[in-house]
A and B are shown apart, each in its own frame.
Chain A
Amino acid sequence: MAKGCICWVVALLPEAKPLIEKLEMKLLSRDTLHPIYSNETGTDWLVISGVGQLNAASGSATLYQSCPKANTAIWVNIGIAGGSIARIGELFYINSIRKEHKTRTFYPFIFPNIKIKNASLVTYDSPQKNYNQDYIFDMEAWAFYETIQKRVNREFIAVFKVLSDNSEASMKSLTKLNIFNLISAKLEFLESFRIKAQTLSGDEFRRQSNPEVFDQLINKFHFTFTQTQQLKSLIKRWQVLLPGKSLNSVMENKESAKAILGHIKEILDEIEIDWDET
């Protein structure tokens, strides 16, 4: 079964560290604009973007370029946020994201059966001191979402925030260790989310993948662009209508792409579907 993939976008190293350690990720290269980490199996990728919207957008785009399964990965922005709607340390699943002074709102997809509270979030360009709001606030989520939603489906993007500061405990008192502990305390939840996300991503990867035999044929014969699209479609039809039956016999004695396409189509068009067969 194809493995899914999760791309984590995190602003600060202390926020990322619990995930890096838990998922056994290693720094891939120091040459990239933002440090990128990945585990050995390639199921988890992480970028440390830096603080603020420009960094979040740029970090997300860098990870998108680096991860080979970026298209079908689940994209997660996790980090700390300010607000007075709950106690410090509470984790929220963000269901709407606005940007300061903008009217447009993003509504991230909420995975079903995730038992944590939802919250609205507003992204600002600078740290906020007015905690008297019915939403929480950060400095990255909008830019992360805005960047990634252009590249992957909305259902594959999630934002989680842990409350780190409020009117009683200001941001200035936050230390690296505090931040590390706030995220560490949520690892159990993140792991349960990760399992669901991996399944969804794996399914999507499989749906978008080319069948193995496609590459064999493409390497053996010359297919034009149109013929390549036709081949993809015919192989998928073949696998549905003649499951388990090899395409090798179709290739025998065929000397051109055109002959192969014609032969596959001829066989498929003759099939009367047996609706009793599951």
Chain B
Amino acid sequence: MINQIFVEREIENHHRVKSILERFASLSPIYIDHYGELFNKKNQNFRVQKSFPNLILAKKNNGHVLQAPENFGIGDAYNFYFSHMYNCLYDCDYCFLQGMYSSADFVLFVNYEKFEDEIIEKIKQLEGRKVTFFSGYDCDSLAFEKISGFVEHFLPIFEKFPNALLELRTKSIQQEPLVFKAPIQNCVIAYSLMPGNVAKQLDRKAPSIEKRIKALEYLAKKGWQIGLRFDPLIYGKDWKVLYSDLFEEIFKRVAKDSIHSVTFGPLRFPKEMFKNLVKLNPESKLLSGPLTLRGTKMTYNAEIELEMINFCENLIKSYVPGALSFTCRGDF
């Protein structure tokens, strides 16, 4: 899975680095001064790196907790996001990370304590007001857990601050440490979902939708709050039937009271990012499809977009009338 490991010299003795290196005993680490020596440089081949990714262990020095974009949230007035990792194990056609970074290598920032300090500082500044912290926008929150121990570290922190909500966005069916812990009410496990046959073509390397539903069904039964994230909504032949079947399957298996929130997001790419994505993945059906430039974004035409959101929202409401439902148009 990992081709080579690079470690910033400054953190070579960090306990998290040592334990990660033990897991990859067969790889000799290469010591570097800063992850920027390798990551996101010009003249890198994203597709090759995606097939043979390196792991870079680094220390994040600033921007640990950032304001979420406008129009992005699941009910709270204050929204922040934080990224302990750049890049993801999965290889999804619509993933904005491909357009954002020229590298597919994984950068894991091991100084979790600094993220923790800033999260607590933000919570304290807001003096008990409701705030959501999103994780999983520059990576998948759970997929790398066995190596990163990210969730294991951050859950107990949020447990102490019930007014702060943590969203873990994922496609992973890796459920540790959630299955071994008592659920905490201010953590939402948010699964990215789309019809199974669509995911089969677009979500390369990611677990199938059937497996994702099984995972969220299990976590819901354990008492965890579940977020359903239909972002992006994908258009195609029989899309209404495909989304209807998907919703039916989910609500047949998952107790409605375990659903914390549902969000929909139209397919959208900033124009320049879209160009990069097409260059990297010229054989993608999704990127070759009927997308149009609206303002600065490549999207489906407005009519399709609105029809999809309205259809899906109404259908969700027929299953869970009081569901917290949001449409996300913000970009990370």
Contact = CB atoms under 8 A, between A and B. Distances in A.
Given A112-B3, A240-B288, A274-B237, A107 B38 contact: yes
B236 A272 contact: yes
Contacts of B61: none
B237 A95 contact: no
Interface string B185-213: 00000000001011011000000000000
Contacts of B278: 233, 236
Interface stretch (A9-17, A145-153, A161-169, A220-228): A145-153
B236 A275 contact: yes
Nearest to A157: B43
Contacts of A274: 236-237
Interface string B1-32: 00110100000000000000000000010101
A237 interface: yes
Contact of A241 (B44, B288, B292): B288
Interface string A237-273: 1001100000000000000000000000000111111
Given A96-B30, A105-B37, A110-B4, A273 B44 contact: no
Measured as residues with beta carbon below 8 angstroms from the partner, the interface class of chain B is 35 or more
Nearest to B48: A155
A204 interface: yes
B43 A273 contact: no
Nearest to B291: A269
A142 interface: no
Interface in B200-249: 200-201, 234-237, 242
A219 interface: no
12 contacts: A110-B3, A118-B28, A153-B43, A153-B44, A200-B48, A207-B47, A236-B288, A237-B288, A240-B285, A271-B289, A272-B236, A273-B289
The 10 closest A-B pairs by CB, nearest first: A153-B45, A240-B288, A237-B288, A273-B236, A155-B48, A155-B45, A274-B237, A272-B237, A275-B198, A269-B290
Interface of A: 95-96, 105, 107, 109-112, 118, 149-150, 152-156, 200, 204, 207, 233, 236-237, 240-241, 268-276, 278
